[in-house]
Amino acid sequence: MKLRSLVALLVMLPTALPSASAQEREATRTPTLAEYTSGSPSQLRPTSLRALQWLGDDYIYIQERNLILGTPGAKKAERTLLTQDELLALIGEGTKGNTAKYFSPFQVVGRDQRHLLITFSGKHYVLDPRTKQLTTTFEQDTKREKTFDLAPTLEASAIIKDHNIYVTTSRGEEVQVTTDGSPTLVYGSSVHQNEFGIHGGLFWSPDGSQLAFYRMDQSMVAPYPIVHTNTRKATRQDLYYPMAGMPIHHVTVGVYNRATGKTIYLNTGLPKEKYLTNITWSPEGKTIYIAEVNRQQNRMELKSYSAETGEPLQTLFVEENEKYIEPQHPLYFIPNRPNEFIWQTRRDGFSHLYRYTTSGKLLGQITKGDFEVISFLGFADGGKTLLYTSTEQSPINRVAYRISIDGKGKKLLTPQPGWHIASASKSGKYLLDTFESLHDVRENRLVSTATGRDQRLYQSDNPEASYITPEIILGTIKADDGKTDLHYRLIKPTNFDPTKKYPTIVYVYNGPHAQLVQNRFHAGSLGWDLYMATQGYVLFTIDGRGSDARGTAFEQVIHRHLGLHEMADQMRGVDFLKSLPYVDTNRIGVYGWSYGGFMTTNLMLTHPETFKVGVAGGAVMDWSRYEAMYGERYMDTPQENPEGYKATNLALRAKDLRGRLLLIHGTIDPVVLWQHTQLFVEACVKADTYPDYMIYPEHEHNVRGADRVHLNGVITRFFKDHL
């Protein structure tokens, strides 16, 4: 058997941390709720090299008040590149910030990735840390500036303020690019509810001479009132939130030419209700590529446009899917081959890399197999080699590979089973790899992409080495279809006694773009479930069909009837729990947030004989009131799928509530509107059923910061009181 196959087989088998009893001989206490809460100031978590990233082909990180530089292969691998005092003197702020505990936060910028952008005391500074020279300075309007986007050539920046785009230079020149921006006419920001891999709205050309930007007209979308109560009189904020089946915003792409001072708009044509995604400049800056998705989200056309005239040049190719299609990645142009690019798509059922010419000719599929390419990391060998991470070792692992652009010579660079988060140096000769697994606390490594040899840069201590901690088990069971493997995480109570029976909580999400079970430290748990294990509970999580990183067929089973197959798979998980002699089958609860809140409520209503207690946070209760981009992708429109929407409107089933269900919602949630749980409560009142309720004023879709400890306390008390 090949080593890779053997490793994959071992990962598929149930695995566990060293037994709790071995740890308890030296442990003195269990972690507190705050110490287990993600984001808490006192959270116990592995450490890493602070701000570790590439500076060209060198790596840098913060070590207290020093910026450290490392050169792969050098005799003296690391040295202090810049101190905080030197930085403050360089930017003329020697008397300010000199008591900071750490070196100032920074961003690596520029085409060569050799400069730092530091925002400090009302200004944006661009500097070369190697020569210790200040390159450019931009004034910051702290009250009005919403976005600052630096050109790759470093001498200009794009700024959003007062709803409009301004281009500024280091010489203090400022040009107002747009003049009619407003809350309903949005420039330079993310569009389409940040779906389809969209993370921003400003796109500099490679030479910094032109700026492409999104223009979103949302005047046809009825405003939705978000009410803020932290003023003497409550104030209203209008949210332009297109719901499924209702009019959606119209988006176009503008191009501002710095030399001429003129702006043109790409002629993307009709219909106006479509999605313009994954905007990419050609290397020479004359062409813009857009992946255009129809509103039905079953057809994508990759088109090119002239950046000078705005007119369409050609449709390179079309992708279609009978259920839905979802492009997530821009074009990756191959170095030294300006007419060739890499395209990432799920065209064959799994996310893979393909090589194309700019005329639309397919040169070949580079990666193949029943696994997902998770991220494209970059090029090596002057463009002859690709670097990427994938699930090829196991769906619960992430590993990095190199492969030739012709699909040959594939090499596994990070063979250790577990979770590798990698980034490539400018030349692609090295990776910075942050690695962890169920058995390995986090470490930072330097990996040669030519040989795969690695060097450990940093090893985190186990933050729980002196604590009593629960045993975590990873394994698989079959889905409701009887053939698909589903991965689970099971956390046993501390001081586990196999002769006892324990209350059990199912933590659930099971929706697209999320994978909860991971071969990493704590197996992907965020901490609350670990704390509940210290309180005498079994915690169980399973990634059923519909969740992420398993391919199209695995995910698309949810299409047009959200919750149906997901619940069936969760119930197979319950069957597994019932087979365990230590699970108290009369005391099973369920908890989830967002899609998981929808699943929690649905499970409570559908299987009251199984679930005694539930907690649903930020839950979708009626998919017709969810946003159009996400909702229509998975459900089509309410007009096209009335039965599907009716079946997933949980308010219509409020009469079926039997157990104790706690609903939690942030009052200014812009993702799942507070209206969802309010209407469900209203339906329960009319149906004479009795949910419990908790709100978090002025919190959005989740409760973050110090208040998260309070949230976890509320959830803990509810299960302790009722399960």
Active site residues: 594, 669, 701
Q: What is the DSSP letter of 13?
A: S
Q: What is the DSSP letter of 522?
A: G
Can you name the residues that pair with 420 across neighbouring β-strands?
Answer: 435
CA-closest candidate to residue 301, choices 283, 289, 309, 310: 289
Q: How many CA atoms are closer than 13 Å to the CA of 506, on its beta-carbon side?
A: 36
CB atoms within 10 A of CB 144: 11
How open is the CA angle 326-329-332, to the nearest 5 degrees? 145
CA-closest candidate to residue 28, choices 531, 467, 496, 532: 467
Q: What is the DSSP letter of 197?
A: T
CB 541 within 8 A of CB 489: yes
User: What distance in Å separates the CA atoms of residue 596 and residue 668, rounded to the nearest whole number?
Assistant: 19
Q: CA–CA distance from 305 to each of 221, 317, 361, 552 (Å)?
A: 28, 14, 17, 30
User: What distance in Å separates the CA atoms of residue 183 and residue 218, rounded to the nearest whole number?
Assistant: 8
Q: CA–CA distance from 188 to each of 163, 180, 252, 330 (Å)?
A: 9, 13, 11, 18
Scan for tokens 């749980």, then name that residue: 677
Peptide bond into 271 cis (omega under 30): yes
The three-state DSSP-derived secondary structure of 543-601 is: CCCCCCCCCHHHHHCCCCCCCHHHHHHHHHHHHHHHCCCCEEEEEEEEEEECHHHHHHH
CB atoms within 10 A of CB 593: 23
Q: Which amino acid is at 432?
A: L
CA-closest candidate to residue 646, choices 637, 638, 654: 638
The three-state DSSP-derived secondary structure of 461-502 is: CCCCCCECCCCEEEEEEECCCCCCEEEEEEECCCCCCCCCCE
CA-closest candidate to residue 216, choices 275, 282, 287, 283: 275
CB 558 within 8 A of CB 548: no
Scan for tokens 């409020």, then name that residue: 654
CA-closest candidate to residue 396, choices 552, 270, 516, 526: 516
SS3 87: helix
Query: Token pair of 632, please?
Result: 């229509």
The three-state DSSP-derived secondary structure of 605-653 is: HHCCCCEEEEEEECCCCCHHHCEHHHHHHHHCCCCCCHHHHHHCCHHHH
Q: Which amino acid is at 369?
A: G
How open is the CA angle 620-695-629, to the nearest 5 degrees? 25
Query: Token pair of 714, please?
Result: 């509320």
Q: Which amino acid is at 224?
A: Y
Q: Is 647 left (phi over 0), alpha (psi -120 to 50) or beta?
A: alpha
